[in-house]
Amino acid sequence: MQIRDTRGDRAYFIVNYSVLTVFTLMVLYPMIYVISASFSSAKAIADNEVYLWPVGATVDAYRTIMESPNLLIGFANSAVYTIGGALLGTALTVLAGYASSRDDLPFRRVVMFFFLIPTLVSAGIVPTYIVVRQLGLLDTRWAVILPGAMSVFNVIITRTFYKMNVPQEMLEAAKVDGADDFRFFFRIAIPLSKPIIAVNLLFYGITQWNGWFNAFLYTSDPHLMPLQLVLRELLSQSAVNPGMIGGGDVAELLKRRELFDKLKYAMIVVAMIPPLIAYPFVQKHFVKGALIGSLK
Amino acid sequence: MTDTDMTTTTLNVEKPEAPSTEGNQRASRRLGLRMRRSWQLYVLLLPPLIFSIIFLYWPMYGLILAFKNYNITLGITGSPWAGTKYITQFFHSYLFWPVIKNTLVLNIYALLALFPLPIVLALLLNSLRSQRFKKTVQLITYAPYFISTVVLVGMILMLFSPTTGVVNRPITALSGSPVDFLSAEAFRHTYVWSGAWQTLGYSAIIFLAALAGVDPELHEAARVDGASILRRIWHIDLPGILPVTITLLILNMGQLLNSGFEKVLLLQNPNNLSVSQVLDTYSFQIAFQSQIPQYSYATAIGLFKSVISLILILLANWLARRVAKQSLF
């Protein structure tokens, strides 16, 4: 039986669609504006002509980035940290997640508590810094990747995945065939967990790509700076510092402040786009992630 | 079935604790056997365990620096004891109360503003009939969550700039003078509402998941009885997600001292320091941005925060268990 909407219900839906449309546009606008500004002419930005779409479209801000050695180093460093952090974090997480998912592991509750306690008692920045220094990792790439390489929340998600998708019967059957735990893990559990491995790679990759604080705290060498830290330095300057960009011609180009503003917009876009491309692929694991994340 | 498999199966059955000593001995022998049999699993666990010990537990041990005079050459263990000197120093610091107040005000403001809105968003999304519109709204509003803090702050600095920002153009046109969104008066609003922009969509997910568990037949029946959609949301949807809401609210209250450290640090400037100096940034500043780094004093502030946070989390968890019958541990 089809029930017709009352006038009140129709009014509700009109309000609902309007509110959601306005909210979505508000979320979208800053991202569109930044992209448009980065493609607009310097003059259009200086004269406040850009509101939504690019005015006097050019790509010279991006050309400046491509021609600036320091900005390119930032990009390359971010790529290294992203790939390294994703591989290391995923490896640690899958190992911890699989082993702790096994019902026949003696002391599995102790092991889980061992992983969970640091989420309740945070040591804070200073003791972590001192440990990194005592390990002799200051001013190395390891200092950017290692602290915070493994997230306990990802371990829990991965553990749940194994509990649900690698049943006990499968393990018992494999044991009958003579497989030991190593063999079962590498030959059966790992191939079965490709989806959760992909999610871990993306999560850790996004985290590393977005990170700036480890590099800021533990390194002082400009050659180790990731893109986000380069962007932060760039944003904190109101005038052009040619040394920051590098290269004589580029410094000449940047004499005008407007182009510098444009360069900031372009750098924001470069730093923003990769996670936005990656995140729809992890979307279906959001519910679990959000659940555990908000329960931390 | 082979001999070993028989033992594995029997071992998987949890036996009640044996009262006699003989039974205990047998139990401990069995445990030893099980551990020996699982040695490969412990080998797999080794890398994550070593990682946790070095990068999570060793720094935790480093918290004792709060009671020591840290000396770089002597290290954490070798540095001489200082008693509660640094803890007392923090309690008597003229910045103690301002920093506590800033931390609490910023977090309570964020909680009051950012807790109810995702619920509203989830209710609106849940009642939509067009799945395509719903999917589009979700895809777009989740996106900012994955943008880095530096990019978010960059957008704030550029778009809300008093001189060149696009937001200040209409404001200047209407009121004659631009607004400095990073001034001491505006800092908290900028911090909280930029957080809303970034996290509202994502925070709605958990409530959407809870709403998906509400029985659709309740809605059908209420509709037949002539209940309007607002009444159905009020009497069916809201009670349906109440347990999740209460649990989340209580658990969020356990996080009252954890402000978004990186974002506050990036938004901080000399003008807004009077409202933007929170526990985390104060500790950071003392350790890394003062002329003589005072690691022990900074650790004492961090320890203070860790202890209060732990108490808050345990309290929140206890409350969640009592009120909502849900808990983490």
- DSSP for B220-280 reads HHHHHTT--HHHHIIIIIHHHHHHHHHHHHHHHHTTTT---HHHHHHH--TTTHHHH--HH
Q: pLDDT at residue A252 above 70? A: no
- Contact call for B140 and A27, based on CB within 8 A: yes
Model confidence band, residue A90 (pLDDT cutoffs 50, 70, 90)? very high
Instruction: Give A-chain residues touching B197 at CB under 8 angstroms.
Output: 26-27, 30
Interface mutation vs chain A, best among B31, B39, B55, B281, most A CBs within 10 Å: B55
Token digits of residue B111: 């909680």
Residues in chain A with CB shorter than 8 Å from the CB of B42 are 99
Could you tell me the two tokens for A253? 């180009």
Q: Quick one: CA dihedral B150, B153, B154, B155, positive or negative?
A: positive
Distance from CA of B248 to the nearest CA of A (A): 7
Nearest CA in chain A to B13: A104
Give the per-residue pLDDT at A286: 62
User: Is it the case that residue B206 has pLDDT exceeding 90?
Assistant: no
Contact B55 A228 (CB under 8 A): no
User: How far apart, in whole angstroms, are the C-alpha atoms of residue A39 and residue A31?
Assistant: 13
Instruction: Say yes or no to pLDDT of A24 above 90.
Output: yes
**Phi/psi of residue B68, nearest 5 degrees:** -130, 160
In total, how many domains does chain B have? 2
**Cβ within 8 Å, pair B147-A50:** no
The parent domain of residue B11 ranges over 3-78
Which stretch of A94-108, B59-73, B312-326 has the lowest confidence by average pLDDT?
A: B312-326
- Asked if B115 and B22 sit in the same domain, the reply is no
Predicted pLDDT of residue B97: 92
Mean pLDDT value of segment A233-241: 71
How many residue contacts between A and B have a Cβ separation below 8 Å?
A: 275
- Rounded to whole angstroms, the Cα distance separating B267 from B271 reads 11
Chain A residue closest in CA terms to B45: A96
Asked if the structure places residue B329 within a domain, the reply is no
Q: Please work out, in degrees rounded to the nearest 5, the angle formed at the alpha carbon of residue A28 by the alpha carbons of A24 and A33.
A: 150
pLDDT value at position B226? 83
The reply to whether B228 and B303 lie within a common domain is: yes
The structure tokens listed for B321 are: 């268990």
Type of residue numbered A71: L
Closest CA to A272 of B195, B149, B200: B149
- Of B78, B102, B135, the residue at which a domain comes to its end is B78
**Hey, which of A79-93, A126-140, A155-169 has the most confident mean pLDDT?**
A79-93
Contact A124 B157 (CB under 8 A): no
Residues B42 and B134 in one domain: no
**Do B107 and B64 reside in the same domain of the chain?**
no
**Looking at the domain assignment, is residue B140 inside a domain?**
yes
Is CATH 3.40.50.620 what the domain over A67-221+279-294 is classified as, yes or no? no
Measured between CB atoms, which of A24, A271, A276 is closest to B141?
A24
3-state helix, strand, coil in chain A (%, to 5): 75, 0, 25
pLDDT in tens, B260-277: 889 999 999 888 889 999
Residue pair A226/B150 in contact (Cβ under 8 Å)? The answer is no
Residues 6+ apart with CB under 8 A from A275: A206, A209, A210, B146, B147, B148
Q: Tell me: do B14 and B74 sit in the same domain.
A: yes
In DSSP terms, B81 is beta-bridged to B68
Gap between the Cα atoms of A211 and A215, Å rounded: 8
Most confident of B8-17, B24-33, B175-184: B175-184
Spell out which residues of chain B touch residue A19, defining contact as CB-CB under 8 Å.
124
Say whether both B173 and B232 belong to one domain: yes
CB A118 within 8 A of CB B57: yes
Query: ipTM of this predicted complex?
Result: 0.86
Say yes or no for a CB contact (<8 Å) between A95 and B40: no
pLDDT of A250 reads 57
- Stretch A240-261: mean pLDDT, rounded? 59
The secondary structure of residue A5, as a DSSP letter, is P
**Encoded tokens for B4:** 């070993």
Q: In chain B, which residue's Cα lies nearest the Cα of A10?
A: B229
Are B44 and A278 a contacting pair at CB < 8 A? no
B64 and B113 in a common domain = no
pLDDT at B263: 92
Q: Are residues B206 and B163 in the same domain?
A: yes
Q: What is the pLDDT of residue A243?
A: 58
CA angle centred on A135, ends A132 and A141, rounded to 5°: 65
Q: Flag whether B205 is in a domain.
A: yes
For residues A122 and A244, give the distance between their C-alpha atoms in angstroms, rounded to a whole number: 35
> Which among B60, B247, B305 has the least Cβ separation from residue A118?
B60
Residue B296: inside a domain: yes
Cβ–Cβ gap A23/B306 under 8 Å: no
Q: Which residue in the set B58, B137, B158 is minimally distant from A24, CB to CB? A: B137
- What pLDDT was estimated at residue B325? 64
Q: What percent of chain B has pLDDT over 70?
A: 91
Distance CA A253, CA A250 (A): 5
Inter-chain contact A125–B287, Cβ cutoff 8 Å?
A: yes
Asked whether the CA dihedral A163, A165, A170, A171 is positive or negative, the reply is: negative
State residue A246's pLDDT score.
57
**Domain endpoint, select from B53, B78, B103:** B78
Question: Using CA atoms, how far apart are residues A207 and B147, in angstroms rounded to an integer?
Answer: 10
Asked whether residue B40 is domain-assigned, the answer is yes
Question: Each residue of B237-251: pLDDT tens digit?
Answer: 888 888 888 878 877
Cβ burial, residue B282 (10 Å; 0-12/13-18/19+):
buried
Q: Which of A229-243, B16-30, B65-79, B112-126 has the highest mean pLDDT?
A: B112-126
* Mean pLDDT, chain A, integer: 84
Residues A37-71 have pLDDT tens digits of: 888 877 777 777 788 888 877 887 888 888 888 88
Is it the case that residue B207 has pLDDT exceeding 80?
yes
pLDDT tens figures, B91-147 = 998 989 999 999 999 999 999 999 999 999 999 999 888 889 998 999 899 999 999
* Residue in A81, A113, A126 to test binding to B, most B beta-carbons within 10 Å: A126
Ranges of each domain in chain A? 1-58, 67-221+279-294
Residue B154's nearest CA partner among A81, A244, A37, A242 is A37
As a whole number of angstroms, the distance between CA B251 and CA A42 comes to 48
For B41, phi then psi, to 5°, come to -65, -40
Rounded distance between C-alpha atoms, residue B17 and residue B22, angstroms: 12
Of the candidates A1, A92, A295, the beta carbon closest to that of B251 is on: A295
Per-residue pLDDT of A143-158, as tens digits, reads 999 998 998 888 988 8
pLDDT of residue B301: 92
Report the CATH number at residue B143. Answer: 1.10.3720.10
Residue B227 CA to residue A289 CA, distance in Å, equals: 35
pTM of the model: 0.84
pLDDT, residue A239, reads 54
Measured between its terminal Cα atoms, the distance across chain A in Å is 45
Residues of chain B found within 8 Å of residue A123, distances taken between Cβ atoms: 56, 59-60, 62-63, 302, 306
B289 and B201 in a common domain: yes
Structural contact between residues A124 and B306, judged by C-beta atoms closer than 8 angstroms: yes
pLDDT grade for A244, boundaries at 50, 70 and 90? low
Tell me which of A5 and B326 has the higher pLDDT.
A5
* Average confidence score pLDDT of chain B: 84
Better-predicted residue by pLDDT, B3 or B106: B106
Q: Note the pLDDT of residue A80.
A: 95
CB contact under 8 A, B141 and A23: yes
User: How many whole angstroms separate alpha carbon A279 and alpha carbon A205?
Assistant: 10
Average pLDDT over residues B177-184: 88
Let me know if residue B42 belongs to a domain: yes
Asked if A67 contacts A250 with a C-beta cutoff of 8 angstroms, the reply is yes
